[in-house]
Amino acid sequence: MSVKISPSILGGSFSNIERIILDLNQSKAEYIHFDVMDGDFVPNLTFGPKFISNVRKFSNKVFDVHLMINRVEKFLDDYIRAGSDIITFHIEINEGIENIIKKIKAQGIKCGLAIKPKTSWSEIQPYLKHIDQVIIMTVEPGFGGQEFMNDQVDKIKNISNYIKLNNLKVSIEIDGGINFETGKTCVEAGANILVAGSFLFNQGNLITATNTLSDKFN
Ligand code: DX5
Ligand code: ZN
C-alpha cells in the first residue's frame, strides 16, 4: 500500500509561495496541504480562497484544503471555486455535517472530515461511509511546529480497523508533528497520507526532504 505525502505550506514563508509550489511540483508529493484558519475555530489566521485560487495557477497537484474554520457552509462555494480538489472540515463545528458533505460531493470533489485530539473517534464513525478521507490531528490545530501527540495513535488504529472491517474506501491522513519516526508509527497504525510542515521546510532543500520522506514509505 502506498503512502502519500501532503506537504503543508504553513511550514514555509508565504512571501516565497511561488518558489515553494514550483519545488513541490518537482517533488514526489502527490498532494499540497492548505491550512485555512479563521482566528475563531482556532486561535490563528492564515489565508482565504483568493490565496488558494492564485496558487492554483502554479500547480496541478491535488489541493488538499484543511478548513479550520467555523461557518463552513457560508464560505464553502468560495473554496470550491478556488480550485480545491479535497475539502476537509472539522467534525467539531456547530453546523449540519451531513448537509455540508452532500454539498461538497455534489460539486464532484472529494470530502474529508477532521478530528481534533480531544474528540473521541466514535464521533466521526457515523460519517465514515459518506466521506473520502479523515484527517486525524496529532497536534492541537492552529500552529505548525508542535510535537506529535502519541496518545492519538490508538485513534488511528480504531478508525483504521473500522474502515477495514466495513470495507470502506476512506483514506487516513495524519496531521501534526510528522517526521520519519512519527510517520512510521502512523503508517503502522493504518495511515496512508502524511501531512508534513516544519519537518520538510526546516531541512534546507524542500524537494529532497519531501522525496526522502516519501521514499521512506514507498
Ligand atoms: C496545524 C495544521 C498542520 C500544520 C502541520 O493546525 O493543520 O497542517 O501545518 O505542521 P507540522 O508538520 O509542523 O506539525
Ligand atoms: Zn492541516
Instruction: Of 168, 166, 134, give the one whose Cα is nearest residue 152.
Output: 134
Instruction: Of 213, 160, 203, give the one whose Cα is nearest residue 183.
Output: 213
Q: How far is the CA of 178 from the centre of ligand 2 (A)?
A: 11
The CA distances from residue 189 to 158, 160, 183, in Å, are: 9, 7, 10
Whether residue 72 contacts residue 93, with contact meaning beta carbons closer than 8 Å, is answered with yes
Tens-digit pLDDT profile for residues 159-186: 999 999 999 999 999 999 999 999 999 9
Share of the chain above pLDDT 70, in %: 100
Q: Whose CA is nearest to atom 4 of ligand 1?
A: 144
Which residue shows C-alpha cell 475555530?
A: 41
E strands, 77-187, where?
Answer: 86-90, 110-115, 133-137, 171-175
Count of C-beta atoms within a 10 Å radius of residue 129: 12
pLDDT for 47 equals 98
Tens-digit pLDDT profile for residues 20-46: 999 999 999 999 999 999 999 999 999
To test ligand 1's pocket by mutation, which of 198, 201, 213 has the most ligand atoms within 8 angstroms of CB? 198
pLDDT category, 88, cuts 50, 70, 90? very high
Ligand 1 pocket, 139 CB below 6 A?
A: yes
35 is catalytic: yes
Beta pairing partners, 32:
63
Tens-digit pLDDT profile for residues 99-131: 999 999 999 999 999 999 999 999 999 999 999
Q: Whose CA is nearest to atom 6 of ligand 1?
A: 141
64 is catalytic: no
Q: What is the mean pLDDT of residues 62-88?
A: 98
SS3 (DSSP) at 28: coil
The rounded mean pLDDT for the chain is 98
To test ligand 1's pocket by mutation, which of 89, 149, 175, 199 has the most ligand atoms within 8 angstroms of CB? 175
Q: How far apart are CA 101 and CA 6, in angstroms?
A: 22
- Protein residues near ligand 2, an ion, with CB under 5 A: 35, 66, 175
